[in-house]
Structure 1
Amino acid sequence: MFSSARRWLRNNRTPIAVGVGVVGAGYVVTQYVLSKLNDARERMSSDRIAKENLRRRFEQNQEDCTFTVLALLPTATTNIVGALNTEQITYEIQQIKGSAKSLKAGSAESTASPPSIADTTMTEEDGKSMASLQSESGVHASQITTPSPFAAAGDAGQQDGGVHRTRKTKRQLWDDLTISAVTRAFTLIYTLTLLTMLTRIQLNLLGRRNYLSSVVALATGAQQATISLENNDDDNTEQDYGSDFDTNRKYLTFSWWLLNKGWMEVMHRVESAVRTVFGSLSPRDLVSFDRFGELTMEVRKLVEGATPEERRASDWLRFLLPPQDQEDEVIRQSGIMEDNAMQGGSSQPSPAALRRLLDETADLIESPAFSHVLTLILDAGFSALVDKKLAAEAFELPPQEAFPMPGSSDLRRTRLILLPKILSVLTRQAHVIGNGMPNEYLQDMETVRALEAFAAVVYSSNWENEIRDEGLMDTAVHAGKEEERQDKGKQSLGGEQSIVMVQPQGGGFKGAWERAVENKS
């Protein structure tokens, strides 16, 4: 039997060898294919996790922006309300009216010359509007002690101990009240909008630095786990916004300029436009809803520009960032030096890193995309003030419907109210804009989708330049350049499966924004 088996194997050794070879090769090929499929599956899973973490980190960044704006806004509000004290002017008008009534009752037979028409013929609606200005603003007349910024020079001399005092007439005070109420509300809208844009730029630039720091740390073997994009430790501020905490802290304090200096330039520009547009109105003028909207648009054209070219040419940078020769003064005024001295800190942040952040911020502010998004956010802010609050509280109009009933637009055009009623609503809304909690105006601004798109482009552009500028390119391991170009800017760093979503070479912020606009359209 064994001899026959040997004879059969000897006679069929060639087919058997071929069969064994085919089976072995098939097994090897199968194992190779399965390993490649497993690698691809793991890579796809890692990419999906990285993208999800990046998305979640970006969303957390935007929430941080909202809370930061709400924390910083009261500082600017206090300054603006202090400079434009509408309640003080209201109190002075009430004093003049009260003294006029007392003079009329106690000196009916006096031979003195009669008061002027502006002092004696104010209507009953004026008195009601005065009470409304006082009650709706939340400030009682007895609480007002600061002098009006629109007071005459003689008033200031009287308060300083001078003998001569020149009192303003009621009409002059009403003119001041109109300018003050409108300027204050509009200035707060502009300040809130600029603070929102600046905060989005600052926190998204630092969020980008944090993500890149995690990627490079992973690529160089500093950490063996997946990229950490979330900060679960409230005390770990370095992980939250990059590794250079002192530089990041100094960079964030540059919002001090807008809160303490820039708002004054904004106020002066707005006040000049308001005087030009609203200066001819009197307290007895009847104003329609559409008319006030037209006046508001005229003010905006003077402040922002009437055409897209003029809006792009507007110099918003000087409101948001100081000149370079005043940057050290901003850092000193913010109190960082004293804090570091008290904590015994000796680390010196890199001037080059801070300079890069400030320069990129200035480039973003001067970009056409910034002007475009700023206009859209201002549209939302003024719409909330005029189309919602003023329409409902001053003109008592129903909410604007998506499909208005016939004749409803005629109602908006023909409804007329006295100017003081509008001023009373603007006086109250100024406090809502600056101190509202929750802040309805900020919520409406953040519903503008272009704002999130702008933040996303800031977060995701210029990553290659950031790595190069920080000196990290030499330590990062680049793999598959041809594959990354075909994969629309996906770059693999390091031996681990971590993905950095970057723009193609030469793209930058401008190219990324153009692509975002094209995708949206």
Structure 2
Amino acid sequence: MFSSVWNFIKRHKKKFIFTGAVVGGVYIFGRYAQKKIRDIQEKEATEYIAQARRQFHFESNQRTCNMTVLSMLPPLREAVVAQLNSETLTALLKTKPANKLEIWEDLKIISFTRTIVAVYSTCMLVVLLRVQLNIIGGYLYLDNSVGKSITNPLAPADVQQQYLSSIQHLLGDGLTELITVVKRAVQRSLGSVSLKQSLSLLELEQQLSWIRAEVESDSERPMSRFLLADDENALAE
């Protein structure tokens, strides 16, 4: 029996070798394919986790931006009101002074100036804080990345403080200069408009467009000067 089996194997030796090679090749290829699939799955899982971490960090940073902006609005409002105090003029009018027409004219200029300055300064505050906090947030994300050395952080505490303290320029000297520029444009635009004259919506829009053009037309002195002090502008460049 064994001799017949052996003879059968010898007669079909090539077929057995070919079949063995095919089976072995399929097995090796299967193992290789499984390894590749595992590698791909692990890579995808790693990328997904990294993406999830980035998304979580970004959303967390945006919430921080929103809360910081909201916390800075009251100081900004106080700074605007302190320099453009229409309440004092309103109280003065109640005393029926002899120069009430002049006070009304001042009140007109201050009211328009305060409204326009509030819009400009709020937009600037939002932009400046979002840029600063997103830059800091990006550095903090890199500092907290796996494998990043904590001995040389990209955003040490003093750098973060320097970034965030620059907002004081907008609340101080930058705001004062913005008020001066806007008030000058308002006086040129509305100074000749009588208190008894009513403006249509189109006329008011035209006046505001002219004031905007006046405020934003100085190409030699960009509006970034209201946000950043001169030394900070130099650093930004």
* 2:205 aligned partner: 293
2:215 alignment counterpart: 303
SS at match of 2:199: strand
> What's the counterpart of residue 256 of structure 1?
168
User: Quick check: 1:323 aligned with 2:226?
Assistant: no
Q: CA deviation at 1:183?
A: 0.7
Contact 2:113–2:182, Cα closer than 8 Å, also in 1: yes
SS state at 1:82 partner: helix
Unmatched tracts of structure 1, length 5 or more: 98-118, 120-168, 224-240, 328-354, 364-521
Alignment match, 2:21: 21
Structure 2 counterpart of 1:517:
none
Matched with 1:5 is 5
Distance in 1, matches of 2:193 and 2:91, equals 21
Q: What corresponds to 2:75 in structure 1? A: 75
Determine if the alignment matches structure 1 residue 89 to structure 2 residue 1: no
- The counterpart of 2:119, out of the listed 189, 202, 225, is 189
For residues 84 and 188 of structure 2, what CA distance do their matches in structure 1 show? 18
Question: Structure 2: how far apart are the matches of 1:282 and 1:52?
Answer: 60
What residue number does 2:31 align with? 31
User: For residues 339-395 of structure 1, what are the alpha-carbon distances to aligned partners after superposition, in whole Å with 9 as ceiling and x for unaligned?
Assistant: xxxxxxxxxxxxxxxx9xx83xx24xxxxxxxxxxxxxxxxxxxxxxxxxxxxxxxx
1:267 equivalent in alignment to 2:174: no
How far apart in 2 are the matches of 1:62 and 1:314? 31
Q: Is the 8 A contact 1:174 1:282 kept in 2?
A: no
Q: As a proportion of its length, which structure holds more helix?
A: 2
CA distance in 2, matches of 1:243, 1:81: 35
Contact persistence 1:206–1:248 (CA under 8 A)? yes
Runs (4+) of structure 1 exceeding 6 A deviation are none
Aligned to 2:158: 246
C-alpha displacement at 1:210, in angstroms? 1.9
Cα deviation, residue 219, structure 1 = 4.1
Match of 1:287, SS state, is: coil
1:152-191 map, 5 Å? 169-191=99-121
Of 186, 191, 204, 1:279 maps to 191
Per-residue deviation, 1:24:
0.7
Where does structure 2 lack aligned partners over 5 or more consecutive residues? none
Corresponding residue of 2:54: 54
In 2, the alpha carbon distance for the partners of 1:50 and 1:313 equals 44
Give the counterpart letter for 2:134 in structure 1: N
Q: Shift in Å at residue 283 of structure 1? A: 2.2
Count of aligned pairs between the two proteins: 235
Match of 1:200 among 121, 130, 155: 130
**CA 1:17 to 1:313, structure 2 compared with 1: closer, same or farther past 3 Å?**
farther
Answer yes or no: is the 8 Å Cα contact 1:187–1:270 preserved in 2. yes
Query: What is the aligned-residue identity percentage?
Result: 29
CA distance in 2, matches of 1:212, 1:178: 51
Q: RMSD value over aligned CA atoms?
A: 2.5
Q: C-alpha distance in 2, partners of 1:210/1:179?
A: 45
Which TM-score applies when normalising by structure 2? 0.88
- Quick one: which amino acid aligns to residue 94 of structure 1? K
Equivalence map 1:120-519=2 (5 Å):
169-215=99-145, 218-219=146-147, 244-305=156-217, 315-324=222-231, 359=235, 362-363=236-237
Post-superposition shift, 1:3? 2.3
Which AA in structure 2 matches 1:12?
Answer: H
The answer to whether the 8 A contact 1:76-1:260 is kept is no
AA aligned opposite 1:301: A
Distance 1:265 1:194 in 2: 14
Distance 1:14 1:277 in 2: 101
Distance 2:190 2:110 in 1: 11
Alignment partner of 2:111: what SS? helix
Q: Which has the larger radius of gyration?
A: 2
Q: CA deviation at 1:322?
A: 1.7
Q: Give the TM-score normalised by the residue count of structure 1.
A: 0.42
Displacement after TM superposition at 1:63 (Å): 2.3
